[in-house]
Chains A and B, each alone.
Chain A
């Protein structure tokens, strides 16, 4: 069974631009969560989607948004990029919402110049 895939793996953008990251969960998994990882901050929860609905949202500004499609694939979008948005963005999928064990993708490394 294929694992969680994320595209692209690496991305370089400039301040003010916007970016869309994609995540394909493990087949059969309906819950997708997004996390931001920065040095010293660990994994910060962004949001979770289940059955195309945003179930939970972390403490991030409105520039961060996401959505989930009927096939459970998910995208997250960051508008008006800031230097501080440079981070590793991780997607995780699980059969059910975040209570259970999550399976992580390799992440997308975003660099904002």
Chain B
């Protein structure tokens, strides 16, 4: 069962514009959420995380927003750069459960 869903398999944006990647989850027990970035031939690398006690976490050009009532989180990248082109995975976990990942969204940032 897909407890974490990324409904957009791909996203294309222009360099300098905002990229918004979305993620929905179904398990209300999840209380910790992460975004990973994956380049071809490499393993995913951690990007940013957010605890359920917060609704926003910012790190440079990357901001993650959490809407617990809607069971939805999003990753904003501003401004987008060509080097941001990668597959982005949303992940969620709770203290006693394994981490669940979404199917990923392939972001392409065009120069």
Contact = CB atoms under 8 A, between A and B. Distances in A.
Contacts of A99: 32, 93-95, 99
B94 A43 contact: no
B101 A35 contact: yes
Contacts of A45: 98-101
Interface string A81-113: 000000000101000001101111111000000
B99 A90 contact: no
Nearest to A106: B43
A105 B103 contact: no
Interface residues of A, number: 23
B41 interface: yes
Contact of B101 (A40, A42, A106): A42
Contacts of A101: 34, 46, 49
A97 B70 CA distance: 27
Contacts of B46: 101-103
Given A40-B103, A42-B104, A43-B89, A90 B98 contact: no
A42 B34 contact: no
B6 interface: yes
Contacts of A77: none
Contacts of B99: 33, 45, 98-99, 102
A32 interface: no
A35 B43 CA distance: 11
A75 interface: no
Contacts of A58: 98
B97 to A, nearest CB: 7
18 contacts: A4-B43, A33-B98, A40-B9, A42-B101, A42-B102, A42-B103, A43-B104, A44-B101, A45-B101, A58-B98, A92-B44, A99-B94, A101-B49, A102-B46, A102-B99, A104-B45, A106-B41, A107-B43
Interface of B: 6, 9, 32, 34, 36, 41-46, 49, 89, 91, 93-95, 97-104
What 4 A-B pairs come out closest when comparing CB atoms? A104-B43, A42-B103, A43-B101, A56-B98
